[in-house]
Amino acid sequence: MPDFLFDKKLYYNPVEFAMDRIGGTWKMPILWRLKDRVMRYGELKKDIPHITHKMLTSQLRELEAEGFIDRKVYPVVPPKVEYSITERGLSAIPIIETIRNYGLQLMEEFNVNENH
């Protein structure tokens, strides 16, 4: 496949393009948690304890901008915001599950303990 431009960035292959959308440390864990239910910001933060508030906010914004999640704001005080996965986000779940299973397999092969 030839190189291609998207949003002023040069990509060399579709894997690079996909990983730019859902890769990194936090996007897949966020999508994984939203696959089964709608969640509020605080619930996501509690479920992913090592992510900073700044990073969670930026990752949610990126996922929303690219159509992987929806953000619904309710006109109440205090503010209520819910995040849900979209069809595009759901289409990434089988890929995330495969990567997760491969990671678990590698951890076993390398004798890595999940608890450090």
For residue 115, what pLDDT is reported? Answer: 73
Report the predicted TM-score, pTM, of the whole model to 2 decimal places: 0.92
Residue range 7-35: mean pLDDT, rounded: 96
More confident: 115 or 68: 68
Residue range 25-40: mean pLDDT, rounded: 98
pLDDT of residue 1 exceeding 80, the answer is no
* Alpha-carbon gap, residue 25 to 27, rounded angstroms: 6
Give the CA distances from residue 42 to residues 45, 46, 62, 64, 81, in Å, rounded to whole numbers and listed in that order: 5, 6, 18, 17, 10
Question: How is domain 4-109 classified at the architecture level of CATH?
Answer: Orthogonal Bundle (1.10)
Sign of dihedral through CA atoms 76, 27, 109, 94? positive
pLDDT of residue 17 exceeding 80, the answer is yes
Residue range 2-10: mean pLDDT, rounded: 93
Which strands make up the sheet holding 80-85, listed edge to edge?
A: 39-40, 80-85, 69-74
For residue 116, what pLDDT is reported? Answer: 58
Q: What is the pLDDT of residues 37-96, one digit of tens each?
A: 999 999 999 999 999 999 999 999 999 999 999 999 999 999 999 999 999 999 999 999
Give the CA distances from residue 86 to residues 4, 37, 39, 83, 110, in Å, rounded to whole numbers and listed in that order: 26, 11, 13, 10, 35
For residue 64, what pLDDT is reported? Answer: 99
For residue 73, what pLDDT is reported? Answer: 97
Closest alpha carbon to 56 in 46, 66, 70: 46
The domain segmentation of the chain, as residue ranges, is 4-109
Question: Token pair of 111, please?
Answer: 């004798």
